Amino acid sequence: NDLYAVVGNPISHSKSPRIHSLFAAQTGEAVEYTAIQAPLEEFAETVREFFAKGGKGLNVTVPFKEQAWSLADRRSERAEKAGAANTLYQDEQGRLVADNTDGVGLVTDLKVNAGVSLSGGRVLVLGAGGAVRGVLGPLLAENPGELVVANRTVIKADGLVSLFRPQAVATELSACGFEAATDPFDVIINGTSASLQGDLPPVPAGVISPETVVYDMMYAAGDTPFNAWARGQGAGKVLDGLGMLVEQAAESFRVWRGVKPETAPVIEELRNH
Ligand code: ATR
């Protein structure tokens, strides 16, 4: 079997080994997928060792995505812009290649799994950290009519907006603080890490209408604090990041193996267990 792994710290709760094992079983690909906890100061060594031992590909998660990007000899266009990588492999010359499948994972989950169109719509993205930078390119590629990046630290939202302005061909792209976001949006994506602290970004309730689709890039057994709030405000549809997790994994699997697994049965399996 060809060896793959996810690297992070901590890593014990990662669902990636389970997801990729299900993909391998479904496609018949000879893939073995494990989890590696890299010491915080030894990410580069861990990656080198993995490939030196014949490993074929790595997924990278918190807190190493930016380091994975820096370490690579070559980057896909989408990884280049994302400033972070969640997928690593070696090309025929043995060079380390970085890719980022997070943004495609989010957009696929929204469009294909949830049937939500972004094209022409008003989209609010909360947060301006690495997670948001990773998805802005693929979101803009859907040509929303308007995309607002709101963040606690407004200057960071300004920075992302400047960085992505060249990709906003059909989109009015702007930045603001949470409290400045007004009027209902078609789609609201929470890309802050506030849920981790049981917190929610303080956006005004007026951003939500009965037509609003709310998506938290995090997932939890129950609702995240943000999704619970949005449900309470009467949002039309409330989604968590489990589908994104499976979709980014499927895209990594495709990058490595050239085979795209079916995601629906895997999402269902994870949802039910
Ligand atoms: P990640 O890789 O998850 O994006 P990050 O780069 O540290 O992590 O970014 C975290 C994001 O969540 C930032 O937008 C951060 O806001 P600031 O830029 O103002 O720090 C946001 N965030 C974290 N905790 C938050 C909280 N309790 N309320 C609102 N936003 C929060």
Rounded distance from Cα 54 to ligand 1 centre (Å)? 36
Assess whether the region 2-100+243-272 and the region 103-240 belong to the same CATH fold: yes
| Distant-in-sequence, close-in-space partners of 14: CB < 8 Å, separation ≥ 6 | 6, 8, 35, 61
CA distance 150 to 174: 9
CATH 3.40.50.10860 fits 2-100+243-272, yes or no: yes
- The DSSP code sequence of 180-239 is G--S--SEEEE-SSGGGGT------GGG--TT-EEEESS--SS--HHHHHHHHTT-SEEE
Sign of CA dihedral 166, 247, 85, 257: negative
Confidence of residue 220 (pLDDT cuts 50, 70, 90): confident
Residue 237 annotated to the active site:
no
Q: Confirm or deny that 151 is annotated as ligand binding.
A: yes
**Residue 267 CB neighbours (<10 A):** 20
Catalytic-labelled residue, pool 65, 81, 237, 260: 65
Strand partners, 98: 75, 88
* Closest-lying ligand 1 atom to the alpha carbon of residue 197: 27
- The predicted model gives 181-206 an average pLDDT of 94
CA distance 107 to 102: 9
- Residue 87's pLDDT is 98
Q: Is the full-model pTM beyond 0.90?
A: yes
User: For the domain bounded by 103-240, which CATH number is listed?
Assistant: 3.40.50.720
Rounded distance from Cα 231 to ligand 1 centre (Å)? 22
The angle formed by the CA atoms of residues 130, 133 and 137, to the nearest 5 degrees, is 155
- Residue 196's pLDDT is 84
pLDDT tens-digit readout, 59-117: 999 999 999 999 999 999 999 999 999 999 999 999 999 999 999 999 999 999 999 99
pLDDT tens-digit readout, 36-48: 999 999 999 999 9
The ipTM estimated for the assembled molecules is: 0.98
Q: Which of 68, 79, 72, 114 is nearest to 94 (CA)?
A: 72
Q: Where are the domains of the chain?
A: 2-100+243-272, 103-240
